[in-house]
Structure 1
Amino acid sequence: MKALENRLEHLIQLGVEGISKASESKLTYSVSPEKWSKKEILGHLIDSGVNNLQRFTEIQFKTKPYTFDNYKQADLVKANDYQHAEINELLGLWKAINNRIRYLFSIQNETTLGYKVVLGSGEVSDLQFLMVDYVDHLEYHLKQILG
């Protein structure tokens, strides 16, 4: 888990450095109304962080296997109106959520990492899979923002 924790820490640093240097026009540009801008992708990563922070926390005390509902990604981005939000607010929120998640990674052990999870598809996995998948997802979208 230490490697995953370090990877997340590195991605947080890259994100903060890269996004804080980007122009507002670069962050708000969208190729079409159906496509998210870089700022909206950051908003999506905030929503992902919020939802996964709750999952990573609840699995510690809820009945196993832990089951959760998928969240409506596009609806959350629209409802939060990330396109018109102040970038420093979004960046601070994203950083804070991910630092909390990074801390949760650091306190897991073999038992907790093995807690069973029922994914939205009905497939059964475990907490470790969820945590790795979260960081993979974050990295994928961070490349879209910084690229």
Structure 2
Amino acid sequence: MKTVALELQQIVNLFADRLTHIPDAEFSAKPLPHKWSKKEVLGHLIDSGHNNLRRFICGQYESIPPQILYDQNFWVAVNNYQASKKEDVIILWKLMNERICGVLLSMPEDKYTLECNTGRDIAELHSLEWLAVDYVRHLKHHLNQIIPGSF
């Protein structure tokens, strides 16, 4: 878990700066009306971070694996990242991920195998360690969409 947290921190440190260099027009441009802009993709990563932070925390203390669901399109629409200032979205993304790093770094090893349910209709149980590794993989995938060739 510590390795995952350190990798996440390195990514955040590097990309918080890189993201600021994307021109506002490019950051807000929607490739198609129903597709997310780069700003909305980063907003999605904030929302994903929020939901995973809850998983990393609740999964440590709840006696039954918590069911924490995430409707990504709803979250991005309700948060209206498209209308937000670019700088605010970048800062929120950075802070959310720094908080996740803090939680992962302080998590006792005996909690790594505890599970969280991410499924709607049927249980999709994943260990907290699996969720952390998957979170970083997911983050890289979307950062690669924002800045192609990054990973």
- What range describes the TM-score normalised by the shorter chain of this pair? over 0.9
Matches for 1:38-117 after TM superposition, within 5 Å: 38-64=38-64, 66-117=65-116
Partner of 1:25: 25
1:3: how far off?
1.7
- Structure 2 distance, partners of 1:88, 1:8, is 20
* Range 116-125 or range 87-96, more displaced: 116-125
- Structure 2 distance, partners of 1:145, 1:41, is 7
- Structure 2 distance, partners of 1:92, 1:40, is 14
The structure showing larger relative contact order (alpha-carbon pairs under 8 Å, at least 6 residues apart) is: 1
1:118: how far off?
2.8
Over the aligned positions, Cα root-mean-square deviation in angstroms equals 1.4
Would you identify which runs of 4 or more consecutive aligned residues in structure 1 move more than 3 Å? none
1:132: how far off?
0.8
- Structure 2 distance, partners of 1:27, 1:68, is 33
Partner SS state of residue 59, structure 1: helix
Could you tell me the TM-score, scaled by structure 2's length? 0.90
Partner of 1:129: 130
2:55 and 2:68 in contact (8 A); partners too: no
1:108: how far off?
2.0
1:125: how far off?
2.5
Could you tell me the TM-score, scaled by structure 1's length? 0.92
1:72: how far off?
1.3
Aligned residues: 146
- Structure 1 distance, partners of 2:134, 2:142, is 12
The percentage of aligned residue pairs carrying the same residue is 36
- Structure 1 distance, partners of 2:91, 2:124, is 34
Partner AA of 1:106 in structure 2: L
1:145: how far off?
1.0
Partner SS state of residue 60, structure 2: coil
- Structure 2 distance, partners of 1:118, 1:86, is 34
2:66 and 2:117 in contact (8 A); partners too: yes
Partner SS state of residue 32, structure 2: coil
Partner SS state of residue 117, structure 1: strand
Partner AA of 2:79 in structure 1: N
Give unmatched runs, 5+ long, in structure 2: none
- Structure 1 distance, partners of 2:48, 2:15, is 15
- Structure 2 distance, partners of 1:136, 1:115, is 20
Partner of 1:37: 37
